[in-house]
């Protein structure tokens, strides 16, 4: 498929079918993600693929941690955000809410519990970084995530990046036997969308470049 078409079509999916993803496809997607550029070609990312019963076990652990610690999805800002950004957050909430109302679901509960459950996707990919690297290398892992979500779309699979799990990093590490010297940077739910689910009709809006580009020439 044409790359621009993939970029245009890709959106985060928040209801997946339980149908398993062939291992070969997951391998091809991760191989594509690993083609991402990285500083000095360090390729600092490490992927942990969690599928089947292990994926469900991880989610049970995450849901337990969420109920105990009650940390929700949030922008994670360290200073108050400019109004432009907060209004985009409100737009996301307002845009998705009618679909969740149709499903009789509460927004916060759906997003937080859904994230812990990788929205029912059969595969979760956990992207890690050795903590010997500086935080600057998080950028490289982010680029790999970008490649991963686009490559998945190429293969007819869909994704949702899941950052919430980093709030429960210790639980993730223990459940998956990830060594203490690795940071859990981000994860992605990967699978086939349930197009019957109203929430998958939601499509996030994107700003036109003139709102965030400043040209100097
Ligand atoms: C770093 C990062 C973390 C994210 N974490 C979550 C998450 O924990 N739960 C969730 O439902 N979506 C999460 N998302 C998905 C975003 O909400 C989504 O990308 C955004 O609303 C734009 O929608 P789109 O992906 O459909 O373009 C995350 C996305 C990124 C890039």
The pLDDT value given to residue 76: 86
80 C-alpha vs ligand 1 centroid, how far in Å? 20
The pLDDT value given to residue 64: 98
pTM to 2 decimal places: 0.97
Residues 8 and 149: their CA atoms lie apart, in Å, by: 12
Percentage of residues in the chain with pLDDT exceeding 90? 91
Q: Compute the average pLDDT of residues 98-116.
A: 96
Mapping DSSP to helix (H, G, I), strand (E, B) and coil, where does residue 205 land? Answer: coil
- The verdict on the CB of residue 111 being under 6 Å from ligand 1 is yes
Mean pLDDT of the chain: 96
Closest ligand 1 atom to 11 CA: 26
Residues 87 and 8: their CA atoms lie apart, in Å, by: 23
14 C-alpha vs ligand 1 centroid, how far in Å? 10
pLDDT in tens, 57-85: 999 999 999 999 998 998 888 888 998 89
pLDDT in tens, 147-186: 999 999 999 999 999 999 999 999 999 999 999 999 999 9
Tokens read off for 67: 């109920």
The answer to whether 180 touches 173, Cβ cutoff 8 Å, is yes
Taking the C-alpha atoms of 88, 89, 94 and 96 in order, what is their torsion angle to the nearest 10 degrees?
110
163 C-alpha vs ligand 1 centroid, how far in Å? 7
12 C-alpha vs ligand 1 centroid, how far in Å? 7
Nearest-CA residue for atom 3 of ligand 1: 163
The pLDDT value given to residue 74: 86
Query: Which domains can be identified in the chain, with CATH numbers?
Result: 3-71+82-203 (3.40.109.10)
Between the two ends of the chain, the Cα-to-Cα distance in Å is 35
Instruction: Answer whether residue 4 shows pLDDT above 80.
Output: yes
Residues 139 and 166: their CA atoms lie apart, in Å, by: 16
- The verdict on the CB of residue 73 being under 6 Å from ligand 1 is yes
The pLDDT value given to residue 78: 87
């Amino acid at each position: 498929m044409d790359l621009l078409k993939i970029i245009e079509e890709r959106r985060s999916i928040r209801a997946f079918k339980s149908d398993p993803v062939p291992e070969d496809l997951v391998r091809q997607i991760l191989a594509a993600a690993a083609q991402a550029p990285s500083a000095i070609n360090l390729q600092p990312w490490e992927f942990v693929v969690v599928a089947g019963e292990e994926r469900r076990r991880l989610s049970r652990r995450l849901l337990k941690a969420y109920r105990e610690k009650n940390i929700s999805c949030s922008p994670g800002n360290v200073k108050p955000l400019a109004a432009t950004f907060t209004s985009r957050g409100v737009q996301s909430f307002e845009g998705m809410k009618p679909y969740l109302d149709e499903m009789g679901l509460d927004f916060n509960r759906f997003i937080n519990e859904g994230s812990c459950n990788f929205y029912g996707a059969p595969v979760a990919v956990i992207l890690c970084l050795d903590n010997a690297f500086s935080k600057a290398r998080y950028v490289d892992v982010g680029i790999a995530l970008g490649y991963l979500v686009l490559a998945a779309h190429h293969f007819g699979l869909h994704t949702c990046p899941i950052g919430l799990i980093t709030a429960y990093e210790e639980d993730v590490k223990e459940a998956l036997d990830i060594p203490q010297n690795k940071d859990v940077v981000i994860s992605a739910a990967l699978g086939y969308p349930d197009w019957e689910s109203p929430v998958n009709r939601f499509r996030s809006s994107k700003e036109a470049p003139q709102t965030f580009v400043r040209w100097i020439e």
